[in-house]
Structure 1
Amino acid sequence: MGKQYSSFNALVVNQTEQFTTEVKQLSLEELPPGEVVVQVAYSGVNYKDGLAGAPDGKIVKQYPFVPGIDLAGTVLQSSDARFTEGQKVLATGFGLGVTHFGGFSEIARMPADWLTPLPASLSLREAMIVGTAGLTAAISIEQLERQGAAPEKGEVLVTGATGGVGGHAIAMLAAKGYPVVASTGRHEVAADYLKQLGASQIIPRISDAFEQGKPLQSASWQGAIDSVGGPGLSIILSKIAYGGSVALSGLTGGSQFAASVMPFILRGVNLLGIDSVLYPAEKRQHLWERIGSDLRPASFELLVDREIGLQQLPEALADILQARTQGRILVAIRPE
């Protein structure tokens, strides 16, 4: 691999007498084991990364640690025949940035099973604009479609519209021709942005926009992609049309909700749990190909809140926990 990789920069969080988050130099010997070594070009900031960068985040179990649940880059070395030197790859989920050193590092080493070959239709930069958030949105859309969702059947609700999952869901649904209703607590300031992404209607936060407590309300949407959870989910379920589905992937609005069985037994509504962390590798490849084709947003750049380097990560990690972002924070590690 050459001398230039004997040491490299990484964002390291540590907990000794006090909690620290700083860019430090690491050596290859300090990286955890794995079959593939990758020169990281880009990463992205996710809510889980924000928790990893906080002293009370309850994500990191062992210090010192390198966060970053997403990465895209070029293979430097591989002992696994599936990957070759110079190949472009990406990785999201599994233990990356949670139990295993992650993507906020110029060099990463990981199990080969965690890597996905970069589709020819995407650049490394585009892949990390998408990242875990966009993959979660793509899984949500595919699951809705498996339950019968189609553009001609009516509107799809997207909650948390200015967040990573929400923004990608709007852009991907719009690319497929779905009419999209975007829900956000920032509806007054983000309306133009959400319309640019492809939303046809913008409404306030669900719990503010509709009455709570009714087991069934007028059927408004054929389906929903909910990255918020909490009390608003019961309202969403009460307003889904017959046979429709809700793809649930988040809990920023809370982990608990009270619901009636009525939407399920009278309208045949489906509640679909969406997880992108352990999503099978063979299905990932298929979805990343879709993200570069029929789910490809009209503009990736609209989905970027800002682009930063390793040194700006501490501030970005705080911003995502406080919902001070609009779209994805892209991290340029060693750009193409």
Structure 2
Amino acid sequence: MRAIVSHSENQPAQLNEVGEPDRESGDVLLEVTHSSVNFKDGLALAGRGIVRRWPTVLGIDIVGTVAESASNAFSVGDRVTLNGAGAGEVRDGGFAERARVSSESLIRIPDSISSSQAAAIGTAGFTATIAVLALADLGVLPDGGDVLVTGAAGGVGSLAINLLSRRGYRVVASTGRAAEQSAFLSSLGAAEVIDRSQFSDPIAHPLQRERWGAAVDSIGSHTLANVLAQTRYGGVVVSNGMAQGIDLPATVLPFILRAITLVGANSVDAPRGLRERAWATLGDELDLQALDSLTAVVGLGDTIAIADEILHGRIRGRTVVQIA
């Protein structure tokens, strides 16, 4: 079968002919129909970290139909998806024609969502949904002030905007291409689009003017530090990415003096209950027409070339890899 494989550390991935999936790697065999390209996939494709076992088939998202199952939970023909759970990092992922996976990480795709749309949602949409659910669980209500979404034109940001706006929140989108992306982000539900430059420099003051009732941040580093310094008393910030860096050059003052909460959204190790809840929410609430409008489709052979584009912020929305 064809697959995109990382063969060694610090080397770009290659499209190769490989053997069938190892039976020991999971109790369910999938005929893979689709995957997607996330920021983490871009890093792996370029040979920049992420992968921790070699050789490994890349692709942190897998969408397909069950071809064989030793699990009572899934039957041949079921449409399923797997997001994260080590795929494309420590075990073979979705950039292949077939994949053998653990049923513990599989989720049935809601009937309202096509297989291509499930791939467009992928880890990005799954992560965005975890973030939105976290805000709700921590008591952030639509009347609690503007919700800032950083990295708004990316996969997590664009889908978070849509989900939040459909729940009634007023969303402010932050992007490095504000003029270019304003119409696109507004169509997803953003009430306002602002330039990311106001967050990207080191914080001038540990506490700044209170602006945000909550935030979903995909950037990290100075951006996250500034967002924390601008969050209102009692606000919640969900951190899910590190595009600017893994550091957090902030102070404890926003937490102590404004009683804000910083929570992480980890899609890789999410338990089954959260996975099922998130995908049920996506099936019920996501605007699928909006999803289609922000989705591009490439073939498996074109996937490696996407890495540089996504790593340099030149990809808008979601990129689906059509495999079958």
TM-score tier by shorter-chain length is over 0.9
From 2, 7, 13, the equivalent of 1:9 is 2
Residue 214 of structure 2 aligns to a residue whose secondary structure is strand
1:200-241 Cα offsets, whole Å, 9 max, x none, are: 111111545898322222221110000001112121112111
Quote how far apart the aligned CAs of 1:121 are: 2.3
- Aligned residue number for residue 265 of structure 1: 256
Whole-Å separation in 2 of the counterparts to 1:105 and 1:279: 24
Q: 1:250 to 1:20 in 2, by over 3 A?
A: closer
Quote how far apart the aligned CAs of 1:20 are: 5.4
1:239-264 Cα offsets, whole Å, 9 max, x none, are: 11121100001111111122222221
- Aligned residue number for residue 47 of structure 1: 39
- Aligned residue number for residue 35 of structure 1: 27
Q: 1:203 to 1:31 in 2, by over 3 A?
A: farther
Q: 1:252 to 1:221 in 2, by over 3 A?
A: same
Whole-Å separation in 2 of the counterparts to 1:206 and 1:271: 22
The 5 Å alignment of 1:81-230 reads 81-205=72-196, 207-208=198-199, 212-230=203-221
TM-score, normalised to structure 1's length?
A: 0.91
Quote how far apart the aligned CAs of 1:295 are: 4.2
- Alignment size in residue pairs: 324
Q: 1:50 to 1:211 in 2, by over 3 A?
A: closer
- Aligned residue number for residue 318 of structure 2: 328
Q: 1:239 to 1:333 in 2, by over 3 A?
A: same
**Aligned residues of 2:21 and 2:99 also touching (Cα < 8 A):** no
**Aligned residues of 1:242 and 1:268 also touching (Cα < 8 A):** yes
Quote how far apart the aligned CAs of 1:104 are: 0.4
TM-score, normalised to structure 2's length?
A: 0.94
**Aligned residues of 1:171 and 1:297 also touching (Cα < 8 A):** no
From 292, 300, 304, the equivalent of 1:314 is 304
Q: 1:64 to 1:177 in 2, by over 3 A?
A: same
Q: 1:65 to 1:32 in 2, by over 3 A?
A: farther
From 14, 28, 31, the equivalent of 1:22 is 14
**Aligned residues of 1:307 and 1:330 also touching (Cα < 8 A):** yes
**Aligned residues of 1:31 and 1:108 also touching (Cα < 8 A):** no
Whole-Å separation in 1 of the counterparts to 2:54 and 2:200: 43
Whole-Å separation in 2 of the counterparts to 1:198 and 1:243: 25
**Aligned residues of 1:156 and 1:221 also touching (Cα < 8 A):** yes
Unaligned runs of 5+ residues in structure 1 are 1-7
Whole-Å separation in 1 of the counterparts to 2:29 and 2:21: 12
Quote how far apart the aligned CAs of 1:54 are: 2.0
Whole-Å separation in 2 of the counterparts to 1:245 and 1:29: 43
- Aligned residue number for residue 67 of structure 1: 58
2:254 equivalent to 1:275:
no
Whole-Å separation in 2 of the counterparts to 1:231 and 1:220: 17
- Aligned residue number for residue 283 of structure 2: 292
- Aligned residue number for residue 238 of structure 2: 247
**Aligned residues of 1:31 and 1:101 also touching (Cα < 8 A):** no
Whole-Å separation in 1 of the counterparts to 2:244 and 2:49: 18
**Aligned residues of 2:129 and 2:160 also touching (Cα < 8 A):** yes
Q: Which amino acid aligns with 1:50?
A: G
Whole-Å separation in 2 of the counterparts to 1:211 and 1:52: 29
Q: 1:91 to 1:208 in 2, by over 3 A?
A: closer
1:109-165 Cα offsets, whole Å, 9 max, x none, are: 011111111122221111111110111111111111111112222210000011111
**Aligned residues of 1:176 and 1:295 also touching (Cα < 8 A):** no
Whole-Å separation in 2 of the counterparts to 1:80 and 1:205: 47
Q: 1:227 to 1:297 in 2, by over 3 A?
A: farther
After the TM superposition, which segments of 4 or more aligned residues of structure 1 sit over 4 Å from their partners? 29-32, 208-211, 295-298
- Aligned residue number for residue 5 of structure 1: none
Whole-Å separation in 2 of the counterparts to 1:117 and 1:235: 39
Q: Which amino acid aligns with 1:46?
A: N
Whole-Å separation in 1 of the counterparts to 2:206 and 2:307: 38
Aligned-residue identity in percent: 38
Quote how far apart the aligned CAs of 1:267 are: 1.6
